[in-house]
Chain A
Amino acid sequence: MSTLYLDRPSPIHRLNPITKLIGVLAIILLVFALPYWWAPLAILVLVVVPAALLARVGGRLLLVGGAILVPLLLVVAIGQGFFNTRGETILFSIGSFDFALEGVLFAAAVGGRTAVLVTAAMLLLLTTHPGKLLSALSQNGMPPKMAYVISSTLQMLPAFRTRADSIILAQRSRGLKTRGNPIRRFAVLIPLLSPLILGVFVDVDERSTAMEARAFASTGPRTALEIVKDPVGEKVARWVVMLLAVGALVVSFMGLYPEMSWPL
């Protein structure tokens, strides 16, 4: 499977996937509930980073999360720094453009949330085998059809990518140019797409017959091959964490957090 999962011996890996999912949801709720610009940063440093280190996936999280977040945050910080309408405290100027502190704070506020969203979700994906996640979700009421679609897509993805690559190589060896101006490159897409798409639709027919012969559409209760362990302690922890996060959110909705002005 071409997912983000890393197999490491760690207490976080051993947790029930539902517990981790609830943990991620609680972190996201908390980051949206707390109104302070520094709150996402604090959660990142105090919760996400220690959890990543405990799970021994810190390096990969930095790599994969950074690849998504760095370009995104840079663009927002540069754009807001120069063009935010509230810019007053000028840090430096390039030509007639002033780079203001207020824009960077705006970027930190909105970018910090996105950063927590991405890293927390990634922590779940890095430490949880997708199969185990789907088993746990189906045992907790996810429709089996949905579990089928997600898991079979994940399993077919590497083979499908190989197929796409070999079609590209085959067409190139017949003289297809995949470089040049945009219209030319677009024209290249069609000879790549038709063999790829027509090819995969052919075996769909037999698959549905085979699955139907094995009672796929049966609506009765299902049994699980792999029972995901769910200790009582984790169940309790899930409720506590969720209640705390929802509590933080309720306080936020009621507007009870003390107002703080910059720098706090």
Chain B
Amino acid sequence: MTDIDKPADPHRTRNNIFIIAGTVVVIATYLYLILAQPAVVDENFNLNGTGAIIPLAGYVIGALLIAVGAINRLPTTTLVLVPVAILINIVVGQITASLGLPLYLDSIGTILVGVVAGPAAGAVTGGLSNVIWGLTLSPLALPFAIVAIVIGALAGWAARIGVFRTYWAPPIAGIVTGIIAALASSPISAFIFGGATGGGTGAIVQAFQAFGNSLLASTTLQGLLSDPLDKLITFTIVMLILLALPSRFKQRFPFVRQYNVLPGMKKKASTPAA
């Protein structure tokens, strides 16, 4: 192992505190929204200010804390991968949209990095993808950064428990990730944006509301309609890409060597990274 593989992290405790604090803030916000379900607009068409500022502030601050804590833990070999992965997210997402497919496919890079470099790297790639998306295309992407962080971290954990060693498990992990992503994002669309997040998805939310569902139920149903299928396909594509990557490239990552995460690798728990 070369020197640049070593996670040069003199502030390990501080970074972990950032990540833990961010996670606590996000979970507290989520529980508040699910349990209290603040009304978006009251009977006099007055806006419920506190009900919307709590999710906005909670999710953005939480995502920021997690991203800052996680990025400082990454070694340079992993960090240079992040911009490339973000570009893959954005460009493939745009190609998918231009082909007119009813999918997003905007997290291939995030999941790829999560698998080869671990949950922290996946989380950073996801979070910063939404920052770049917000800076270049639409600021509406920013409050959803936490969802992308969760997706990247889940991909890393899935790889660690050996999902990508097999050929049948990645699609299942994709469906599970999609369900969690839908549950994580639906309170954001409901309580911050009142269901108004985009033309196509917005129309589906309106349709569910027309059948008498609550706003939160409608955004959740909309998410469950699109996210699991999207992530199933994304995880499958990532598995195919991993099969095609040269093995010299794959062996560069300490995470890959430590947990033997890739297709065809055997579980060897006793081999240390060094």
Contacts and interface: CB of A to CB of B under 8 A. Distances in A.
**Which residue among B46, B56, B72, B135 has the maximum number of chain A CB atoms within 10 Å of its CB?**
B135
A136 interface: no
Contacts of A149: 71, 79, 82-83, 86, 124, 128
Interface residues of A, number: 90
Nearest to B8: A217
A4 B83 contact: no
A125 B136 CA distance: 8
Given A35-B48, A208-B80, 6 more contacts: A37-B41, A102-B45, A157-B136, A196-B92, A198-B241, A217-B4
A150 B81 contact: no
Interface of B: 3-4, 8, 10-11, 40-41, 43-50, 52-53, 56, 67-68, 71-72, 74-77, 79-84, 86-88, 90-92, 94-96, 99-102, 105, 108, 112, 124, 128, 131-132, 134-136, 138-140, 142, 193-199, 202-203, 205-207, 209-210, 212, 233, 237, 240-241, 244-245, 249, 252
A220 B17 CA distance: 21
B19 to A, nearest CB: 13
- Majority secondary structure, B binding face: helix
B46 A259 contact: yes
- Majority secondary structure, A binding face: helix
A99 interface: no
Given A110-B194, A149-B71, A219 B10 contact: yes
A81 B76 CA distance: 53
A27 B209 CA distance: 30
A153 B87 contact: yes
Interface string A195-208: 01110111011011
